[in-house]
């Protein structure tokens, strides 16, 4: 059955092409497994709460844009009736009844790991947002600040060049402030000379755009929408993570070809259930956040966190930008999922608030996740995999102009990172072990850290079943056939110099364990010497250095300066390649070469247990038996213009006109 939705329709109609429904929400109440809901051009100001989902992959419910049309779901309402308060500052008074049970201007941003505003120390910020002609204004924390000529002057302590973080610097002069009075909310806004009664002013009022309120609404496809202006709340792993769109503790969703933007906190949520936690650390402080995080995992297991019941989503071909916390967030619910070919930018760039959960992609417990072919740039942190990133593969992604491209935290591996281009000043903030880097361009610095105050679960292979808990001692990493540039980051070290002094074999590691036992000095803990490093066939450019005794090392004295350039939808890296780097060749690497991480005893393998062979490059071109190191199948001396990301979404089996590859 097909249902049609149009702003010109009626929810008392039949839902056919000639008598469509008016709201997507009404269609979501009547759609049955196997049905398709076709949504036509227009703006839909509603929270779509699907009543039911599909029963399996072949019997799902599909919500899609009509061919050639661009429906928009907004979490906002248009606000008229502004009166001039003073100078360029206007105000409007709103009855709380318009917000229902969620007033995002009365409720502050709050929760675990939210660092600023912090309880009792900083003025509150709020989930609400104000928009002038579609552009978000900045929230200030006093009425006096609405008269400020530049927003940045009042937040200089925690904003790093706000004007460079958005594509319209003049918007940094437009600000708003909320004052709640009994049963009404008063908004004050400086529109920088614009008359709000003549322009379009919207305020975010709904917490989400497309998100079931119930769990296990499975097998839904959402395709081709614009979703924006949702008043999402701060989303740490120990709370109910609600995004502008998400499945809410379900399985089998496909979120594809959507534009998600201007969301207060998180755009797409693959997050946890409220049954696993509700910011108890923030609310009570009875235990540490780490302890509540650990409990959330076991609570998740009690309510059915397992493959086929939760997770296994596909998030692909979306454009996600200007979200305050994350483009994609999730705890446990992102396990077994694929995040593929998304364009993510300006996440956490506005710096209106700060916390330890801010990144373009921020996933906890993303077991067996596949993160492929994404372009992530101009974010505070590009990608952050936290807790139990076991069996994850990060492949063929491009990161640039982020504060840091990648962080992996408190996980024991195996995590495979291959054929990526890391082009920011800092590449990797490493609070993990058991990670393998193969055929990457590593343009920034690397920082190594141990975590000896938080033990973390690890799992039986390809399962949510917990096999044990352990601290993260660092090391046990692998680096093969990578290019290391002389990074400009101020944290960490270039190349693999941070690993100097690490044992390179298990025999060396075990001898160091025996030496510590023999010394009798264990500090009350099991002896933990420096962990292993396995590395071979890497190339180091400029001042970048490798570890002692690496096999197949190539040092290139001439600098290599990489520049990113979009041409249409495609992204290229431009650089001059020295002859000695172009001539460097290495064998194809696979499962058999990478060994097994010491703690987990799981191979670097496909999710079905089969071997991985890394025999294609960053855009899918075939590698020869001996091919160039780094993410490119072939380098040549002199000027190189290497395609690293094909931006166009292909809908047929035709080969990509940019690279000739048929599959991503």
pLDDT tens-digit readout, 551-594: 999 999 988 999 999 999 999 999 999 999 999 999 999 999 99
pLDDT value at residue 168: 53
Residues 96 and 123 in one domain: yes
DSSP code of 365? S
- Specify if 369 maps to a domain: no
Strand order in the sheet with 359-364: 266-269, 326-331, 359-364, 381-386, 404-409, 426-431, 445-448
Task: Look up residue 380 and give its two tokens.
Answer: 């505070």
Give the whole-angstrom CA distance, residue 519 versus residue 527: 10
Residues 60 and 125 in one domain: no
**What pLDDT is recorded for position 431?**
96
Is the model's pLDDT at 209 over the cut of 70?
Answer: yes
The rounded distance, in Å, linking the Cα atoms of 410 and 237 is 14
Number of domains in the chain: 2
For residues 144 and 109, membership in a common domain is answered with yes
Can you tell me the mean pLDDT for 125-135? 97
Domain-embedded: residue 555: no
Same domain, 8 and 99: no
Predicted local distance difference test score (pLDDT) of residue 46: 98
Please give the Cα distance from 390 to 454 (Å, whole number).
17
Q: Is the pLDDT of residue 595 over 90?
A: yes
Q: What is this structure's pTM? A: 0.95
Question: Do both 136 and 41 map to the same domain?
Answer: no
- Model confidence over 623-660: pLDDT tens digits? 999 999 999 999 999 999 999 999 987 555 556 655 55
| Mean pLDDT on 140-153 | 75
pLDDT given at position 155: 42
Share of the chain above pLDDT 90, in %: 83
Query: What band does 149 get if pLDDT is binned at 50, 70 and 90?
Result: low
Confidence of residue 169 (pLDDT cuts 50, 70, 90): low
Asked if residue 38 is part of any domain, the answer here is yes
Average model confidence (pLDDT) across the chain: 92
Q: Give the residue with greater pLDDT, 170 vs 50.
A: 50
State in Å, rounded, how far the first CA of the chain is from the last one: 32
Residue 151 forms part of a structural domain: yes
Decide which of 438 and 519 is more confident.
438
For residue 663, what pLDDT is reported?
47
Q: Which two tokens stand for residue 267?
A: 């755009």
* 421 falls within a domain: no
Nearest to 397 by CA among 366, 439, 358, 363: 439
Taking 50 as the threshold, does the pLDDT of residue 270 lie above it? Answer: yes
- Residue 123 within any structural domain of the chain: yes
Closest CA to 573 of 487, 656, 643, 486: 643
pLDDT: is 112 or 489 the higher one? 112
Residues 97 and 173 in one domain: yes
The answer to whether position 352 is within a domain reads no
pLDDT reported for residue 230: 98
* Range with lowest mean pLDDT among 120-129, 147-156, 515-524: 147-156
Tokens of 654: 């035709």
The residue among 25, 57, 72 that closes a domain is 72
Closest CA to 40 of 60, 63, 57, 61: 63
Question: Residue 528's pLDDT is what?
Answer: 57
Mean pLDDT over 240-248 rounds to 98
Among 154-168, 230-244, 343-357, name the one with the lowest average pLDDT: 154-168
**Confidence category of residue 664, pLDDT binned at 50, 70, 90:** very low
Q: Which of 154, 170, 204 is the last residue of a domain?
A: 204
Residue ending a domain, choose from 183, 204, 225: 204
Q: Average pLDDT for residues 98-125, to the nearest whole number?
A: 91
pLDDT tens digits, 363-380: 999 999 999 999 999 999
* 101 and 9 both lie in a single domain: no
Percentage of the chain lying above the pLDDT 70 cut: 92
In this prediction, residue 172 carries a pLDDT of 64
**pLDDT exceeds cutoff 60 at 165:** no
Q: Please return the burial class of 164, using the count of CB atoms within 10 Å of its CB with bins 0-12, 13-18 and 19+.
A: exposed
Tens digits of residue pLDDT in 43-99 = 999 999 999 999 999 999 999 999 999 999 999 999 999 999 999 999 999 999 999
Domain check: are 95 and 187 in the same one?
Answer: yes
CA 270 and chain centroid, separation: 11
Q: Give the SS3 label for residue 101.
A: coil
50 and 100 within one domain: no
Residue 86 and residue 6 share a domain: no
Domain check: are 141 and 198 in the same one? Answer: yes
| pLDDT-derived band at 163, boundaries 50, 70, 90 | very low
Tell me the CA distances in angstroms from 439 to 111, 456, 623, one per residue in order: 39, 29, 11
Any idea what the CATH number is for the domain that residue 115 is in? 2.60.40.1180
**45: containing domain:** 2-72
Query: Residue 653 has what pLDDT?
Result: 56
Give the containing element (helix H, strand E) for 164: helix 162-165
Q: Are strands 570-577 and 563-567 parallel, antiparallel or unpaired?
A: antiparallel
Residue 158 pLDDT > 50: no
In a domain, 496, yes or no: no
Same domain, yes or no: 138 and 199: yes
């Amino acid at each position: 059955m097909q249902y049609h939705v149009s702003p010109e329709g009626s929810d008392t109609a039949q839902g056919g092409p000639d008598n469509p429904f008016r709201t997507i929400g009404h269609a979501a109440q009547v759609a049955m497994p196997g049905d398709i809901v076709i949504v036509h051009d227009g703006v839909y100001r509603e929270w779509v709460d699907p009543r039911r989902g599909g029963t399996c992959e072949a019997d799902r419910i599909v919500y899609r844009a009509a061919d050639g049309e661009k429906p928009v779901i907004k979490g906002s309402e248009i606000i008229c009736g502004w009166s001039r308060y003073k100078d360029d500052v206007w105000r409007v008074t709103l009855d709380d009844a318009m917000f229902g049970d969620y007033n995002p201007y009365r409720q502050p941003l709050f929760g675990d790991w939210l660092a600023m505003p912090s309880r009792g120390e900083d003025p509150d910020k709020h989930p609400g947002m104000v928009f002038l002609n579609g552009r978000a204004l900045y929230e200030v924390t006093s009425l006096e600040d609405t008269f400020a000529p530049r927003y940045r002057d009042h937040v200089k302590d925690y904003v790093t060049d706000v004007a460079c973080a958005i594509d319209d610097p003049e918007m940094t002069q437009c600000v708003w402030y909320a004052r709640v009075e009994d049963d009404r909310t008063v908004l004050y806004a400086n529109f920088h000379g614009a008359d709000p009664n003549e322009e379009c002013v919207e305020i975010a009022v709904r917490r989400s755009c497309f998100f079931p309120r119930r769990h296990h609404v499975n097998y839904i496809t959402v395709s081709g929408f614009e979703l924006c202006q949702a008043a999402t709340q701060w989303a740490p792993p120990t709370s109910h993570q609600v995004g502008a769109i998400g499945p809410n503790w379900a399985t089998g969703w496909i979120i594809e070809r959507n534009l998600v933007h201007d969301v207060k906190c998180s755009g797409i949520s693959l997050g946890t259930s409220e049954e696993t936690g509700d910011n108890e650390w923030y609310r009570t402080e009875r235990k540490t956040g780490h302890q509540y995080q650990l409990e959330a995992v076991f609570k998740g297991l009690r309510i059915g966190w397992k493959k086929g019941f939760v997770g296994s989503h596909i998030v692909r071909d979306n454009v996600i930008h200007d979200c305050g916390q994350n483009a994609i967030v999730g705890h446990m619910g992102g396990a077994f999922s694929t995040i593929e070919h998304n364009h993510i930018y300006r996440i956490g760039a506005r710096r209106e608030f700060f916390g330890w959960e801010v990144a373009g992609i921020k996933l906890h417990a993303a077991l067996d996740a596949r993160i492929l072919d994404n372009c992530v740039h101009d974010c505070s942190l590009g990608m952050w995999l936290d807790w139990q990133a076991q069996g994850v593969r990060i492949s063929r992604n491009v990161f640039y102009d982020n504060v840091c491209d990648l962080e992996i935290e408190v996980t024991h591996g195996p995590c495979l990172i291959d054929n990526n281009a890391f082009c920011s000043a800092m590449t990797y903030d490493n609070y993990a072990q058991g990670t393998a880097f193969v055929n990457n361009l590593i343009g920034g610095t690397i920082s190594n850290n141990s975590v000896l105050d938080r033990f973390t679960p690890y799992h039986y292979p390809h399962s949510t079943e917990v096999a044990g808990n352990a601290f993260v001692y660092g090391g046990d990493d692998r680096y093969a056939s990578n290019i290391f540039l002389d990074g400009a980051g101020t944290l960490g070290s270039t190349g693999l110099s941070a690993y100097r002094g690490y044992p390179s074999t298990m025999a060396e590691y075990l001898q160091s364990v025996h030496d510590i036992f023999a010394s009798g000095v264990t500090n009350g803990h099991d002896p933990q010497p420096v962990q292993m490093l396995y590395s071979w066939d890497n190339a180091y450019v400029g001042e970048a250095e490798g570890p002692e005794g690496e096999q197949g090392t190539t040092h290139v004295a001439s600098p290599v300066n990489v520049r990113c350039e979009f041409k249409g939808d495609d992204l290229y890296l431009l650089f001059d390649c020295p002859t000695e780097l172009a001539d460097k060749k290495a064998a194809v690497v696979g499962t058999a070469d990478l060994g097994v991480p010491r703690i987990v005893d799981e191979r670097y393998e496909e999710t079905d247990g089969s071997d991985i062979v890394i025999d294609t490059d960053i855009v899918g071109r075939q590698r020869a038996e001996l091919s160039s190191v780094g993410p490119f199948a072939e380098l040549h001396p002199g000027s190189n213009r290497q395609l690293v990301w094909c931006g166009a979404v292909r809908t047929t089996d035709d080969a990509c006109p940019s690279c000739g590859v048929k599959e991503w």
